[in-house]
Amino acid sequence: RAHLGEGGGACDAAFGHVRSGIEGRRLRRRHPLRLRDVAGLVPGAYMGKGRGNQFLDHLCDADVLIHIVDASGKTDNEGNATEGYDPSGEIAWVREELHRWIYNNVRRKFDSVVKRAKKVHSQVPNAAGVGKKGAAGAKDRFMALLSGYRAKREVVGRALRLAGVDLDDPMVVAKIPSWTPEHLHRIVACFLQIRFPIVVALNKADEASSDVHIDNIRRNFAHLHCVPVSARLESELVKLRKAGSIAYEDGDSVLEWIAETPPPPVFAEAQATVAKYGTTGVLEAVNTAVETAEPLFVFPVRDLRTLTAVGESNRRQHALKVGSVGDAPDVEVAPVEDDPVLRDCVMMHRGACVGDVFTALKNQHVLGGDFVRAELFDPTKPSNGRVVRKNDVLIPSQKVQAEEATEETIGPVLQIMSTRRAH
């Protein structure tokens, strides 16, 4: 969502865009995402059926999963046409496949953790002499079993805390050899919840047979994010928008027919679905997935006072014209009228540090050279930044002044100085 309130498109986004839509609606800033269609999961994949572990390994590229379910009950879990199928079973077995895949991999190598834990266990009678070094070795080995799914140690640590397991305590590590399968299942379930959060997209919500299934799934899977979706109607609305027949932005809850010709029947279908669920659900499913992954949106800027964009910009070109040294971090350059404000937004994993943002900007060719220093926008001192170190972890949000009497909460605003700018 744009931070600049109800006015025009003053936020010039480089990645994504800001659209005002119908007059009076709040601005929304879009951020690009990479969606990957991973099809082919069948019951028993964790045992090698279908594409087996090849399918499951592809999931490691994802931060969050959107499980698309035919809520109409007209296709079974293998995609075959049928009638009266209960789609709730599909939700259960997909989660079971993912759980079994991780559990079996962990269980296969768990003996290597037990061997290290036994060394700690032998010292337990003399509690004062329990070796922290040995406990750390067992902990590191166990965490390595889960970090193989492209999960940082921080993610594995969160899963362990959620499961109520403190591997920093040598007394807990000493009991690992006596763990039952239930101990591992609980840890895997917590890890799966954090590393592979799932949003269920209940597709074909516009069909009459979907109503009862959507109600049942929402009731029986209240702990999951379940979003009614009509991909067909969203596609039809996009076609009508391209034809200039409707005023519609993705995710709108109001459909307005603006063509002189009478609307087709599909427009009435879309109106009925939007009236029931608020939207067609497509963008809502994606937005919910992003929120579930809890990303960190970072706004890199060239100047913390003006919030103007980092890297090559109209402001830099203006500086060169008047003879200023645009790359020198201490040179003041007066902003020009068309300087882009908060143009760039970088989506990072929660727990990212300043150095991670610097690396991302280098990969995008926004910055170059070596890291020099960085300053973070401080809402209590808008005219001055707070110096942060390269390994400092960034906090999720800050408040910035949007208009004279309003504030908006956005991600951290960061100014990074390097030895040279990217070209």
| Angle 364-294-106 from CA coordinates, rounded to 5° | 100
Q: E strands along 30-89, which residues?
A: 65-70
How many structural domains comprise the chain? 2
Residue 91 shares a structural domain with residue 222: yes
Asked whether residue 56 falls in the same domain as residue 193, the answer is yes
pLDDT at 127: 47
Distance CA 229, CA 284 (A): 8
User: What residues have CB less than 8 Å from 108, skipping those under 6 apart?
Assistant: none
Binned at pLDDT 50, 70 and 90, residue 77 comes out as confident
Domain end, chosen from 228, 256, 285, is at: 228
- Domain limit, last residue, from 213, 228, 243: 228
Is residue 96 a contact partner of residue 227, using CB atoms and an 8 Å limit? no
Residues 200 and 347 in one domain: no
pTM, 2 dp: 0.81
Among candidates 164, 167, 170, 172, which has minimal Cα distance to 190?
164
Would you say residue 150 has pLDDT above 80?
Answer: yes
196 shares its domain with 320: no
The verdict on 218 and 128 lying in the same domain is yes
Query: What mean pLDDT, rounded, does the chain reach?
Result: 82
pLDDT average, residue stretch 233-237: 98
333 and 217 part of one domain: no
Domain that holds residue 121: 33-228
- Provide the pLDDT for residue 124: 55
Beta bridge partners of residue 300, listed in sequence order: 414
Residue 174 domain flag? yes
Task: Please check whether residues 201 and 63 belong to one and the same domain.
Answer: yes
How is residue 332 written in tokens?
């003041």
97: which 2 tokens?
């496949």
Residue 2 lies in a domain: no
pLDDT on residue 389: 95
Establish if 37 belongs to a structural domain.
yes
The last residue of a domain, from among 207, 228, 249: 228
147: tokens are: 């970090």
Residues 6+ apart with CB under 8 A from 399: 379, 407, 408, 409, 410
Q: Return the number of other C-beta atoms located less than 10 Å from residue 39's C-beta.
A: 8
Q: How far is CA 31 from CA 20, 90, 173, in A?
A: 16, 31, 43
What totals of helices (H) and strands (E) does the chain contain, helices first? Answer: 12, 15
Instruction: Tell me which residue of 100, 109, 113 sits closest to 48, measured CA to CA.
Output: 100
Per the CB < 8 A criterion, the answer to whether 169 and 160 are in contact is no
Task: Dump pLDDT digits (tens) for 109-147.
Answer: 999 999 999 887 666 554 444 556 668 889 999 999 998
Q: Name the range with the highest mean pLDDT among 15-29, 144-158, 330-344, 407-421.
A: 144-158
418, 369 Cβ separation under 8 angstroms: yes
Q: Is residue 212, in this structure, part of any structural domain at all?
A: yes
The first and second tokens of residue 282, run together, are: 């497509």
pLDDT range class, residue 57, cuts 50, 70, 90: confident
Verify that 221 and 353 share a domain, yes or no. no
pLDDT digits (tens, 9 = 90+) for 341-382: 888 889 998 888 999 999 999 998 888 899 999 999 877 766
The beta strands (E) that lie in 48-115 are given as: 65-70
218 and 302 housed in the same domain: no
CA-based torsion, 354, 360, 289, 401: positive or negative: positive
Specify whether 306 is located in the same domain as 179: no
